[in-house]
Copies of this chain bind each other. A is one copy, B any other.
């Protein structure tokens, strides 16, 4: 699949018309998420990312201008449309909100080994933007927006409580891997976690 890399040298200027180059770029973004997720920002090397992608290390500079910008594009860029996501959470019975949220997180994260989440957690010491991106991802783009659309008191506190549960689930399931939660099937996790998330969103906090 990556054998056409040599046909897309750094000096090429016709990027828009080169699917081979796009393949390289996509492969580097995927490899970057995996390597940053395993080693964190400080521990990840350009060489390791390029090797994982099956391309020459020079391709990282060619397509991204270095590790910093590759991190920004691979890890800090939101991998979904927040407006659409929140609409899908709100599409249905308000009492099913917790379940729809947990199911969505599990479906997306399980399919992508936690998506950008392990890379953010493992880079939180080595890159200033990682903690900020974590707040952006869980609070500003998702739970604060969601809570603002529900007719409840203490919307910001509810949003941070939801974030605490989902960040914790992310760590336990995808980063530090505490069993049996790390390997539990979706229905088990949803039955266990959804009612707690539902209470944070619509229950009494007093």
CA distance A171 to B131 in the complex (A): 10
CA distance A153 to B110 in the complex (A): 26
Contacts of A178 in B (CB 8 A): 135, 138-139, 160, 163-164
Contact A176 B126 (CB under 8 A): no
Contacts of A176 in B (CB 8 A): 124, 131, 134-135, 167
Contact B167 A165 (CB under 8 A): no
Contact B199 A195 (CB under 8 A): yes
CB distance from A48 to the nearest CB of B (A): 13
CA distance A125 to B178 in the complex (A): 17
Contact B160 A167 (CB under 8 A): no
Interface size of A in residues (CB-CB distance below 8 Å): 50
CB distance from A130 to the nearest CB of B (A): 9
Contacts of A134 in B (CB 8 A): 171, 176
Q: Which of B163, B184, B196 contacts A157 (CB 8 A)?
A: B184
- What are 19 A-B contacts with C-beta separation under 8 Å? A40-B124, A42-B125, A43-B125, A134-B171, A139-B178, A156-B179, A157-B180, A157-B181, A157-B192, A160-B178, A163-B178, A163-B181, A164-B172, A164-B178, A165-B165, A165-B196, A167-B167, A168-B168, A195-B199
Additional A-B contact list (5), CB under 8 Å, known A38-B125, A160-B172, A160-B180: A122-B125, A131-B176, A157-B188, A164-B171, A164-B178
Binding site for B on A (CB under 8 A): 38-43, 121-126, 131, 134-135, 138-139, 156-157, 160-161, 163-169, 171-173, 175-182, 184, 188, 191-193, 195-196, 199-200, 205-206
